[in-house]
Amino acid sequence: MASIHAPMRVGFELVEKWADKIFTPAWNPFYHLGALGFFMYWIVAVSGIYVYIFFDTGLTEAYDSVEYMTHEQWYLAGIMRSLHRYCSDAMVLFMVIHTLREFALDRYRGPRWFTWFTGVPVFLLLISCGITGYWLVWDELAQFIALRSTEWMDWLPIFGSPIANNFITPERLDDRFFSLMIFIHIAAPLFLLIVLWVHLMRVSRPEVNPPRGLAIGMLIAFLVLSLVKPALSHGPADLTQVVANVRLDWFYLAFYPLLDIWSFGTVWGFMTALVLMFLIVPWMPPMRKVPVAVVNLEECNGCTRCAEDCPTGAVTMQMRTDGTKYALEATVNSSTCISCGICVGACPTSTPFRRRSNVVSGIELPELTIADLRQRIHDTAAKLSGNTRILVIGCKYSAGLDPDEVPNTVKIEINCLGMLPPSFIDYVISRKLADGLFFTGCREGNCHHRFGQDWTNERVDGKRDPKLRKRVPRERIKQFRAGIADEKMLVDGVREFAEHIATLPKPETGPSREDKPENNDAAKTDGYSDA
């Protein structure tokens, strides 16, 4: 799948860079697609309630009431109708882009299958809401949709009599049809909201509200669009006439032309195959199973930081089972753990300074333990020489770095930058393993594990526990973000950092901190612990 993901991800990164310049990274809509979808949902709900106040459910009154809102009360009800229409389209647009982006970032397989899987009924319910909304206008487009939809459904041998017969003559259709459509059009969004809640069940700290500035900007943009190009109806429906030309809304009605090209059975087969394909995408092929995080109870003090920082809610706290003085212990749900290692970076016992006990963390990844990481740092840093020795620690989903591009530079790759405990930064600098530490993660808004880069930045800045101690010279640390299309930018960043390191005075030599063991208090809350 990498051959598919990589070009898609590069494409998204290029578009997102362009959007960064227009909206700034904080308000880039590509970083808030899910939240924008929720925001559109609430706009559609509010505008729909207002439109319903003026809507009549009669056979002839339905069209007249919509025309009244559009032309007579254009300044409010008309705007609300247009806002309802355009924000409904925007929901589909944001959802499609969000789906493609998650696919490109490979955030749909493995333990993430549930979120992708539940996204399929979300999309189906959304399309159903839109189609029933078009029926209610009861114009020529509604007539076309009603006839083609019922003919398509009649192909299934589940109805006693053909539903399409209700649209053969005006006499066969009565006001109860609109009452039924109103009920469906109101009930479907309520079911949609429930499924959206299920969709986010396995997501820790889901973003359901976009940044305020972006939300206000989007609302203003759609209001302007509603004023400049108001949504208009076709001519009134007339069951005595055959509808020849209609203006389709391709966001909701894109498959309707297939009903004129293919047989109804073929369209059913195509749509069923398409839905099934999307449902099984997380297992095509399945992601390689990686050992999940494990808890070492003898080192766990129940501080809850790993649970707070976990991006999928896989780490939870429960009552202590080993009879120690601590009240809680961490547990890992293997079905939802994505093996990112962010919990390791959050653990206060994840420190390489230990001398009186083994280098073991309260929670670890079996594939790369804290002891393994410390040894890898020593082995890799030993290859450095010169006066500007740069150790690069990077997320494996960020841009690659050829060491030959920058002299006296070596790189270590870890699952996620959030896996790096702040104590390791202190360790590298205080042990003089390198003259500078350059760590790089995914691009802004593209973190494969959602919070890895953010949590690392906050730990370094002293805003999140465990904090990087103030004694660590920040001028010897560089935080960077680079996507897979930013290799040149990464090389330039490392070179610039090396030039900066060359201007700094050499650190004073003195007794190693290895000769000054400190008390190991894993329960302290003001940073990592030494031992």
CATH of the domain at 191: 1.20.810.10
Spatial contact of 338 and 311, defined as CB atoms under 8 Å apart: yes
**Tell me, what DSSP letter sits at residue 247?**
-
Q: How far is CA 388 from the centre of its chain?
A: 38
- 344 lies in the same domain as 428: yes
Residue among 192, 216, 217, 196 at smallest CA distance from 208: 196
Is 375 inside a domain boundary?
Answer: yes
Q: How far is CA 240 from the centre of its chain?
A: 49
Contacts of 431 (CB under 8 A, 6+ apart): 512, 513, 514
- 258 lies in the same domain as 355: no
Q: Where are the beta strands (DSSP E) in 163-305?
A: 294-295
Is 20 inside a domain boundary?
Answer: no
Query: Total structural domains in the chain?
Result: 2
Tell if the pTM clears 0.85, that is, is over it. Answer: yes
Spatial contact of 490 and 480, defined as CB atoms under 8 Å apart: yes
- 351 lies in the same domain as 403: yes
- 325 lies in the same domain as 252: no
**What are the tens digits of pLDDT across the range 255-273?**
999 999 999 999 999 999 9
**Tell me, what DSSP letter sits at residue 260?**
H
User: What confidence score (pLDDT) does residue 525 get?
Assistant: 37
Spatial contact of 403 and 328, defined as CB atoms under 8 Å apart: no
Spatial contact of 123 and 102, defined as CB atoms under 8 Å apart: no
Instruction: Dump the DSSP string for 402-451.
Output: -GGGSTTEEEEEES-GGGS-HHHHHHHHHTTS-SEEEEEESPTT--TTSS
H or E, element range at 132: helix 113-137
User: What confidence score (pLDDT) does residue 508 get?
Assistant: 64
- 181 lies in the same domain as 219: yes
Is 520 inside a domain boundary?
Answer: no
**What are the tens digits of pLDDT across the range 275-297?**
999 999 999 887 788 899 999 99
- 327 lies in the same domain as 463: yes
Residue among 437, 425, 438, 443 at smallest CA distance from 491: 438
Is 25 inside a domain boundary?
Answer: no
- 328 lies in the same domain as 254: no
User: What confidence score (pLDDT) does residue 244 get?
Assistant: 82
- 443 lies in the same domain as 308: yes
Phi, psi of 521 (to 5 degrees): -115, 90
Does the N-terminal peptide bond of residue 466 adopt cis geometry, omega within 30 degrees of 0? yes
Q: Which of 257, 283, 309 is the last residue of a domain?
A: 283
User: What confidence score (pLDDT) does residue 219 get?
Assistant: 97
- 421 lies in the same domain as 399: yes
Q: Which of 283, 312, 345 is the last residue of a domain?
A: 283
For strand 436-441 and strand 477-481, is the pairing parallel, antiparallel, or unpaired?
Answer: parallel
For strand 315-319 and strand 328-332, is the pairing parallel, antiparallel, or unpaired?
Answer: antiparallel
User: What confidence score (pLDDT) does residue 356 get?
Assistant: 62
Per the document, the length of the chain is 531
H or E, element range at 365: none
| 488 CB neighbour count, 10 Å cutoff | 11
Q: How far is CA 507 from the centre of its chain?
A: 43
User: What confidence score (pLDDT) does residue 511 get?
Assistant: 40
User: What confidence score (pLDDT) does residue 1 get?
Assistant: 77
Spatial contact of 365 and 344, defined as CB atoms under 8 Å apart: yes
Spatial contact of 488 and 310, defined as CB atoms under 8 Å apart: no
Q: Domain range holding 192?
A: 32-283
Residues of the chain with pLDDT below 50 are 510-528, 530-531
Paired tokens of 273:
């195959």
User: What confidence score (pLDDT) does residue 237 get?
Assistant: 92
Is 417 inside a domain boundary?
Answer: yes
Does the N-terminal peptide bond of residue 7 adopt cis geometry, omega within 30 degrees of 0? no
| ∠ CA 278-282-286, rounded to 5° | 140
User: What confidence score (pLDDT) does residue 152 get?
Assistant: 94
User: What confidence score (pLDDT) does residue 519 get?
Assistant: 37
